[in-house]
Amino acid sequence: MTIADLPASPAARPTAARRKERDLSQSAGESKSEAKTAAEHAEIARLAAERADTWFFRLKGVLDRALGLILLIPAAPVIALLVAAIRATSRGPGIYSQVRVGKGGVNFTMYKLRSMRSDAEAGSGPTWSASGQDPRVTRLGYWLRRLHLDELPQLWNVVRGEMSLVGPRPERPEFVTVLEEQIPGYLNRLAIVPGITGLAQINLPPDSDLDSVRRKLLVDCEYIRTAGFWMDARIIFCTILRMLWIKGPAVTRALGLERIVHLPHSSSPSSSETPAAVCLSTLVMSKDDTVTDLPTHVDYSASVTPASAALANALPELSTKREPSPTADRRSHRPASAGQEA
């Protein structure tokens, strides 16, 4: 065999051949990724169907629509007045719509009173709002958020069956696409209808980074496993108290709703820091594997019962008691805004 008979090295192959091999490799990778995504969505749909088939969630859906309609009647004139005030104090519509991801990964249109400038995301793209002072929030919008009045139009989503009064907060599809890749089991929270308020919202501040999402995922999974009418009633009552500025750890503790979440190797800022607005590109670049023990599957088909030993094993980092440990990762008890408007 002569040198001419030897196979050419990859560097010596024609450029077109190398480009073809690269394209084929990328195509195979994309096909695997699409197949994995399709399988995950199919699993979520199956889990959602099983969980929704329990007597509690079937009856909860009916009661949610009825209560939503009853509450929407007195809320309608309030919404009309606020819409007029918003249009008079800033440019843009009084009510805006935004696509969110609902039960089973199905997208729906959610409505809110506008509390930000109409061009809030013109230069940044999809962005989580800061929990402190956000320059994009209007003066009237600041008070709408403080009093949670910007959420009132979502009663219409409850009447339509797209949302519940209580449940995990719906996220935007742009963020779900990123979060499902970076956080194991993130799609588990889509097993039930999302809510206006929830167990995670009354215990944890708005999302600001991956660790804050991980904390809420743990609490959302606990709610899905242990939800009941008594818990929903307490969460709604706690939310009403917060609208009246009666809030804090003492309130959630007195109602038996306090949840303290500890994450190993947490990189989130301390409770004394105010996180800034986080755009989608920031999350894309912050992928990490520091937390690997989050549950990747929750058995939603289990009966709805109070927290059990099995749940404690599934969520080892979730504590329902106040712990005085100096290393506890304690976040301020501040209700989340409506899924970060902008």
What amino acid occupies position 208?
Answer: S
Give residue 88's pLDDT.
95
Judged against a pLDDT cut of 90, whether residue 275 lies above it is answered with no
**CA 159-162-163 angle, 5° bins:** 80
Give the separation between CA 43 and CA 198, rounded to whole angstroms: 24
Contact 168, 102 (CB under 8 A): no
Could you report the per-residue pLDDT of 321-335, keeping only the tens digit for each? Answer: 333 333 333 333 333
The average pLDDT across 66-75 equals: 96
Q: Is the pTM of this model over 0.85?
A: no
Closest to 179 in 3D by CA, of 270, 245, 233, 101? 101
Give residue 46's pLDDT.
62
Q: Which secondary-structure segment (H or E) carries 225?
A: helix 210-226
Instruction: Between 23 and 181, name the one with better pLDDT.
Output: 181
The average pLDDT across 177-206 equals: 91
Which range (128-132, 284-288, 306-310) has the least confidence? 306-310
- Ordered alpha helix ranges (H), 53-187: 55-89, 139-146, 154-159, 173-182
Give the separation between CA 146 and CA 110, rounded to whole angstroms: 20
Could you report the per-residue pLDDT of 222-256, keeping only the tens digit for each? Answer: 898 889 999 999 999 999 999 898 988 999 999 99
The average pLDDT across 169-177 equals: 92
Give residue 136's pLDDT.
84
Handedness of CA 127, 129, 130, 131 (dihedral sign): negative
DSSP assignment of 249-269 equals HHHHHHTT---EE--TT--PP
Judged against a pLDDT cut of 50, whether residue 286 lies above it is answered with no
Which range (67-76, 197-206, 242-251, 268-277) has the least confidence? 268-277
**59-80: b or e for each residue (b if 16 or more CB lie within 10 Å)?**
ebbeebbebbeeebeebeeebe
**Which residues make Cβ contacts (< 8 Å) with residue 288, sequence separation at least 6?**
182, 210, 267
Could you report the per-residue pLDDT of 42-67, keeping only the tens digit for each? Answer: 665 566 557 666 889 889 999 999 99
Give residue 184's pLDDT.
85
| Distance, C-alpha 110 to centroid of its chain | 14
